[in-house]
Structure 1
Amino acid sequence: MCILVAALGCHPSLPFICAHNRDEQRDRPSRDDGLEEDSQLLCGRDVKAGGTVLGVHAVGGGFAALTNCRTTVKWPEDERTSRGLLVEFLAANGTAQAEEFIRSRKIDPFHAIAGHIFCDSPEISYFWSAPAEGVQGQDAEGWSSGRKILDRGVFVVSNENPLGETWPKCAWLRREVQAFLDQLPGSRWTIAGVSHVPLKSRGLNVGLPNRS
């Protein structure tokens, strides 16, 4: 299942860290991540619905990422706005109009985080929208949506309902990431090493800086 972890202000050299996994059907068409000239977003693309699950605006520094929420409630396909378009909106436009964007559209249940990350002290907000179990419509009593500014620390969310309990795997991952960051050295070599990981994972032959 999808899972997202964000560490905010947990390391002196890395003010914001995010790792995200999106589980999806393998036959769903998509484009690899890259910088889009028209939108200036660094993201991958869902070819079917046009959205993305994680994106960064290369100029403005806006960031957003999303997981879906596991419920039985879904809007008709011809009425709903893709959850991935919410990510694009948040990364490109910031969070000021986020709640209006969410209220004015039929978006299937989700968790999302968004904010400006090109700074020393990023402010990241968590957005959610999902029904309680048994609720069948967005306007019915029991549908929960809102926004919360994240405190300093490690935030983890998967596909759980925001009205329910935190899933055990999320609690486990939060502890493990915090323990890892507590042991991570605070130096420029840490930044170089962390930056090296995604480049190597994409098959790019990029070496670490010379220590001399």
Structure 2
Amino acid sequence: MCLIAFAWNVHPRWRLLLAGNRDEFHARPSAPLARWDDAPIIGGRDLEAGGTWLGVTDAARCCVVTNVRDPRDPQIGSSRGLLATDYLTGRADAASHAQQLLRAAANYRPFNLLTFDAQAAFYLGNRPEAGAQSVTPGVHGLSNADFNTPWPKTRILMQRLRDWIDAGGDTDFAPLFEALADEQVAPDAQLPDTGVGLERERWLSSAFIHGEQYGTRASTVVAIGHDGGGVIVERRFGPLGRLVGESLLRFGDLPSP
């Protein structure tokens, strides 16, 4: 993933509400949202490295990973996508997993990781050094920088999520997908300097990245209830933002409407 906003223990129905975009090269092979045949994971799948960028389980666990944007940092180490699959298929709770991963975090390519279970949520990262912190109740954001770094698109998506919650949003996720589809470019004065040049910073500053070779591949909303039931919805896009599919899966104990 490259842009995430989530609400942890804020909504009266949903323990976790998460909205995010995955930006990637369109040529990189990926499988759409599905229940995996070989693991208890519900999510999309990177067919090149075998992992996932976002997944959930019927035990109401969720995990999402982003890269860290720094062209000066060599992309050396194990695939980031394996971090998510390892957590989702493992038995350790979020707190225990965080302590265990700290010891091995330096072995992976630059990453940000969010883990959720029924009791706790954690942020973990390995740049500039390995670190972990418990997530407090509230609305938070993550992109290709440190946790809650106030990049314009992150701040805007967090506010759109707050607005949806304040307006009584429950199962109509259309406003969240509209927020994820925002192609507004941030003013130059608000752009971060991540070493990719001004033109590319502008292009990457919108929530939805529109491109022929690289861009937003998937927009996803996850909602996990305090009762353990949940729903995950994925919209998939091809080159130049063309919608190519949408999937919705229920998991846990959530009854059908």
Q: Could you tell me the TM-score, scaled by structure 1's length? A: 0.74
| Equivalent residue, structure 1, for 2:241 | none
Question: How much has 1:102 moved relative to structure 2?
Answer: 4.9
Q: Give the corresponding residue for 1:135.
A: none
The Cα offsets for residues 15-56 of structure 1, whole Å up to 9 and x where unpaired, read as 211112110000001111111132111011111111100111
**Bigger relative CO (Cα 8 Å, ≥ 6 apart):** 2
Give the superposition deviation at 1:177. 1.5
Kindly provide the amino acid, as one letter, of the partner of residue 106 in structure 1: N
Q: What residue is the counterpart of 1:13 in the other structure?
A: 13
Q: Measure, in 2, the Cα distance between the counterparts of 1:81 and 1:39.
A: 20
Deviation at 1:203, TM superposition (A): 6.4
- Report how far residue 197 of structure 1 moved: 8.7
Match of 1:167 in 2: 151
Where does structure 1 lack aligned partners over 5 or more consecutive residues? 132-143
Kindly provide the CA deviation profile for residues 167-195 of structure 1, in whole angstroms up to 9, marking residues without a partner as x: 1222222222112211115xxxx34x448
- Taking the aligned partners of 1:184 and 1:149, their CA distance within structure 2 comes to 27
Which residue number corresponds to residue 198 of structure 1?
Answer: 233
Q: 1:115 maps to which residue?
A: 116
For residues 67-94 of structure 1, the C-alpha deviation after alignment (integer angstroms, 9 at most, x for no partner) is: 1111121244xxx210000011122224
Task: Measure, in 1, the Cα distance between the counterparts of 2:232 and 2:63.
Answer: 21
In 1, Cα distance between the equivalents of 2:162 and 2:98? 29
C-alpha distance in structure 2 between counterparts of 1:203 and 1:70, whole Å = 29
Q: For residues 24 and 129 of structure 1, what CA distance do their matches in structure 2 show?
A: 21
In the other structure, the counterpart of 1:90 is 87
Distance change >3 Å, CA 55–CA 48, structure 1 → 2? same
Larger Cα Rg: Structure 1 or Structure 2?
A: 1
Matched, 1:67 2:66: yes
Bigger shift: residues 13-22 or 104-113:
104-113
Offset of 1:161 from its aligned partner?
Answer: 4.4
Give the root-mean-square deviation of aligned CA atoms. Answer: 2.8
129, 136, 139: which one aligns with 1:154 = 139
The equivalent residue for 2:220 is none
Quick one: distance in 1 between partners of 2:11 and 2:136? Answer: 14
Decide whether aligned partners of structure 1 residues 34 and 15 sit closer, same or farther in structure 2, where only a CA change above 3 A counts. Answer: same
Q: 1:53 to 1:176 in 2, by over 3 A?
A: same
Q: Normalization by structure 2: what TM-score?
A: 0.62
Counterpart in the other structure of 1:181? 165
Aligned-partner SS, 1:202 = strand
Identify the residue that residue 129 of structure 1 maps to in structure 2: 126
SS at match of 1:24: strand
The share of aligned pairs that are identical, in percent, is 28
The 1:106/1:175 distance shift into structure 2, 3 A limit, reads same
Change in Cα spacing, 1:81 to 1:184, as seen in structure 2 (3 Å) is: same
Q: 1:103 to 1:73 in 2, by over 3 A?
A: farther
1:134 match: none
Task: Note if contact 2:46-2:52 (Cα within 8 Å) is conserved in structure 1.
Answer: yes
Q: Distance in 2 between matches of 1:92 and 1:178?
A: 31
Structure 1's 171 and 203: CA in aligned 2 closer, same or farther, altered over 3 A? closer
Kindly provide the amino acid, as one letter, of the partner of residue 183 in structure 1: A
> Contact between 1:70 and 1:161, CA under 8 Å: does it hold in 2?
no
CA distance 1:115–1:152, shift in 2 (3 Å)? same
Classify 1:74/1:103 alpha carbon distance in 2 versus 1 (closer, same or farther; 3 Å). Answer: farther
